[in-house]
Amino acid sequence: MPKPILLQEHAQDRKKMPQILICLRSEKPEGLRQMICKLFVFRHAETTDNARGIFSGWRDATLTSRGVSQSHEIAKQLKGEQIDYAFSSHLKRARQTMKIVLKSHHPVRVFTDDRLIERCYGLLQGKSKRKLAVEKPEWYAQVHRGYDFPPPKGESLKMVESRTLPFLGQLEEWLQQNPGNVAISCHGNSLRPIRRVFEHLSLEQMLQMENPQNRAMTYTLPLHGVNFEGTRKSGTIASWKGMLVPRDVRLATDPQNPLSQYY
């Protein structure tokens, strides 16, 4: 099977820059065909923590009534689209948003993978963003939009990117055997590197952009060498080897955090 091509872009120090997945550009193997898959990628809708201006991270906040309405807006946007598979983190806000989005679709298998989970804000989780911005404005700016600046016992955006990109690479390979359209319920910071890849954003653009909570982004992923005959004959969906953060793990520095292998 052809492997995804990984390119390094926007890097002054290429040895330290995470590899950025673009798409398969290998030659199409003889006898196999090309397929264009769609990825419908969205951020979870508004939560109680969002409404209160609190660092949420790995806290398991739920949707507000406004968040429920925003989820229905995404559902309306995607109502006429075919969705074959769905991916979400284990956090309630991502799963609740996905559940509403998929209500008008035929039963869709939902896979859980915490490489999509929100950035861990460590010891800042549960604390007020506004208060920190007033008390420590420069430090807040570094934590909020710095690339390689993790809060105490938390993750930097660079660390989030380092775990999100392998998810994309695995998804691309997995779709070779299971072609179809995919819905992905992300978080504000795990969505950044995904948009950076498909929208060809600079590092600065990725850091400064804001992600809507009521709209999905649609991307196309060309897949070469898809064996349609083999897929139809098997009639089964290949297993997905995801990554799950134990529900009692709240800090990135916890020895039980499986995502640390990507840092």
Q: What is the largest CA-CA distance in the chain?
A: 64
Cα 54 from chain centre = 21
Residue numbers annotated as active site: 44, 118
Helix axes of 157-177 and 191-199: crossing angle, nearest 10 degrees: 60
Q: Which of 39, 95, 86, 89 is nearest to 67 (CA)?
A: 95
Specify the residue for token string 């990628």.
41
Return the SS3 of 235.
coil
Query: Residues near 180 by Cβ (< 8 Å), separated by ≥ 6?
Result: 37, 82, 84, 85
